[in-house]
Amino acid sequence: MNVTFGVILGNRGFFPDHLCDAGRAQILSTLEQLGIGAVILPVDASKYGSVESAEDARKCAELFRSQAGKIDGILVALPNFGDERGVANALRWSGLSVPVLVQAFADDPRKMTIRDRRDSFCGKMSVCNNLRQYGIRFTLTRRHTCAPDAPDFLDDLRDFAVTCRVVRGLKHLRIGALGARPTAFNTVRYSEKLLEQAGISVETLDLYELFGWVGKLADDDAAVQAKLGEIKLYVAAPRVPAPALLKMAKFGVAVDRWMKQTQLQATAIQCWTAMEEFFGVVPCTLMSMMSNLGVSSACEVDIMGTVAMHALAEGSGQPSALVDWNNNYGEDPDKGVIFHCSNLPKAVFESAPEMDYQAIIAGTVGQENTYGTVTGRVKASPFTYLRVGTDDAAGRMRAYVGEGELTADPLSTFGGYGVVAIRDFQGLLKYICRNGFEHHVAVNTTRIAAGMNEALGNYLGWEVYRHG
């Protein structure tokens, strides 16, 4: 799962210590099963490596500080009642600002003697009470108490891993805005200052400057030829003229160098329609290639679309796409059509896509100037959708998130497209319209809405609506 948790094993002196011994082994076994790394006090640092006293808390905090660069979240496990002060102090003294999951072991009604009784049910409330007093945000498990190998707890850990990856991935995020927002797209306006307050920076570049760099690249430049080879390996382009492919390769080299020089992790690029009129291709294939590698790229300089794509990609480890909520699907109120021209990453298509021309604007600027789209149908799959925005009037970040199904319902059209099924889709559409959200939405072919909601709402403090 590409995450590592700091583990705090809570203990309380007048409860059975042997429960911490067994509990430690069970927790570490579960984490190993899920591929999650663990940083935990050695067994000889305290009673079974548990945290109870102020001294234990200090040792744990020092360990976490020394491993701060690798700890993505902290799991508080309570094999018995646990010491609320020990847990809270270890977290505070560590200085870490990462998500915290609180788990309590379940008692067995057949083992309620003084030797085996846990009282973790009660202790969890005390721990959470103290965390709230300390101002430490935390995540709860689906059930108040659970065994370390219970299916529900495995799901809790998977969701928490998503939360940790999203919080980590949005921290100090740098996005490149290439070109000006198209005049006709007021919908993608946003507050750069609110993003900065959220720890997300935007680096701007004028298309004129980028095209200047492109103009200095020779056709036989080694980097250009290498990028041309990447494009040909990435997507079939049987109808695309060689000069158009060469332009794309030069554009890709210029963008790659800009991103490296300015340490960018994602981009939003102007397309409509200056690039077609004055350069002669669309950037879709290059954007598709970047998104397919997890380096999310949104069109129409939709910076907030890029933020959503990046968050989904970080949370899932899979590429994200930016699409339009575009059409109804017949008379079914819970189905609709998603679409883009498109720059969708190859990983989301049901079969190998092809490069083609941009059918919508070809009639305006000429087909010969619009080669570069990546066309095909999105594969049938569960999916998560996310839209992020800045509410400038209220001075806050906001988002909505949910899950649905990409279906195999018949549809014949162009571009990149698919049919979605979402419970109470009409209710979601009403929410989007009433709250002034954009028609763009980021999608990812995984189910991660729960972890995404926790990351954005609880830990980042954004206003989040989770549909369904």
Mean pLDDT, contiguous 10-residue spans, the chain (468 residues): 92 84 96 98 95 97 98 97 96 98 94 85 97 98 97 98 98 97 92 97 97 98 98 97 98 98 98 91 98 97 98 98 98 98 97 95 93 98 98 96 98 97 98 97 98 98 97
- Tracing tokens 């009673």 back to the chain, one arrives at 47
Q: Give yes or no: residues 268 and 319 share one domain.
A: yes
Count other Cβ atoms within 10 Å, centred on residue 453: 24
- Structure tokens that stand for 288 in this block: 């598709």
The rounded distance, in Å, linking the Cα atoms of 188 and 439 is 9
DSSP letters of 232-300? HHHSB-TTS-HHHHHHHHHHHHHHHHHHHHHT-SEEEE--TTHHHHHT-S-SHHHHHHHHHTT--EEET
Quick check: 107 and 120 in contact, CB under 8 A?
yes
The rounded distance, in Å, linking the Cα atoms of 260 and 278 is 26
Q: Give yes or no: residues 255 and 394 share one domain.
A: yes
- Structure tokens that stand for 290 in this block: 């970047």
- Structure tokens that stand for 365 in this block: 């600027």
Chain-centre distance for alpha carbon 82? 33
The rounded distance, in Å, linking the Cα atoms of 306 and 309 is 5
How many structural domains compose the chain?
2
Strands 201-205 and 174-178, by their bridges, are parallel
Per-residue confidence (pLDDT) for residue 323, from 0 to 100? 98
The rounded distance, in Å, linking the Cα atoms of 304 and 387 is 8
Q: Give yes or no: residues 137 and 16 share one domain.
A: yes
Quick check: 442 and 309 in contact, CB under 8 A?
yes
Given 150, 170, 190, the domain boundary residue is 170
**Sign of the C-alpha dihedral computed for residues 164, 169, 172 and 177 taken in this order:** negative
Provide the 8-state DSSP code for 445.
S
Q: Give yes or no: residues 391 and 348 share one domain.
A: yes
Q: Give yes or no: residues 322 and 362 share one domain.
A: yes
The rounded distance, in Å, linking the Cα atoms of 306 and 298 is 5
Q: Give yes or no: residues 381 and 316 share one domain.
A: yes
Q: Give yes or no: residues 72 and 37 share one domain.
A: yes
Q: Which of 418, 324, 342, 332 is nearest to 378 (CA)?
A: 418
3-class SS of residue 401: strand
Per-residue confidence (pLDDT) for residue 1, from 0 to 100? 56
Count other Cβ atoms within 10 Å, centred on residue 182: 17
Beta-bridge mates of residue 404: 383
Q: What are the residues whose beta carbons fall under 8 Å from the beta carbon of 439, sequence distance 6 or more?
A: 187, 324, 325, 326
Q: Give yes or no: residues 294 and 429 share one domain.
A: yes
Write the CA distances from 15 to 42, 49, 75, 124, integer angstroms.
Answer: 21, 16, 21, 14
Q: Give yes or no: residues 364 and 226 share one domain.
A: yes
384: domain range? Answer: 174-466
Count other Cβ atoms within 10 Å, centred on residue 98: 21
Q: Give yes or no: residues 196 and 162 share one domain.
A: no
CATH number at residue 346: 3.40.275.10
3-class SS of residue 358: coil
**What strands, in cross-sheet order, belong to the sheet with 266-269?**
201-205, 174-178, 266-269, 297-299
| Radius of gyration in angstroms for the set of CA atoms belonging to the chain, rounded to a whole number | 25
Per-residue confidence (pLDDT) for residue 189, from 0 to 100? 96
Q: Angle formed by the axes of helices 242-262 and 284-292, to 10°? A: 50
Q: Give yes or no: residues 404 and 452 share one domain.
A: yes
- Structure tokens that stand for 139 in this block: 């995540």
Chain-centre distance for alpha carbon 302? 17
Given 170, 194, 211, the domain boundary residue is 170
Write the CA distances from 461 to 169, 199, 205, 356, 457, integer angstroms.
Answer: 16, 12, 30, 42, 5
∠ at Cα 44 (84, 146), nearest 5°? Answer: 45
Q: Which of 371, 174, 178 is nearest to 269 (CA)?
A: 178
Quick check: 178 and 301 in contact, CB under 8 A?
yes
The rounded distance, in Å, linking the Cα atoms of 19 and 23 is 6
Per-residue confidence (pLDDT) for residue 65, from 0 to 100? 98
CATH number at residue 16: 3.40.50.10940
Given 170, 188, 206, the domain boundary residue is 170
311's enclosing H/E stretch is: helix 303-316
Q: Give yes or no: residues 55 and 183 share one domain.
A: no
Q: Which of 41, 43, 18, 38 is nearest to 28 (CA)?
A: 38
Chain-centre distance for alpha carbon 96? 21
The rounded distance, in Å, linking the Cα atoms of 117 and 383 is 43
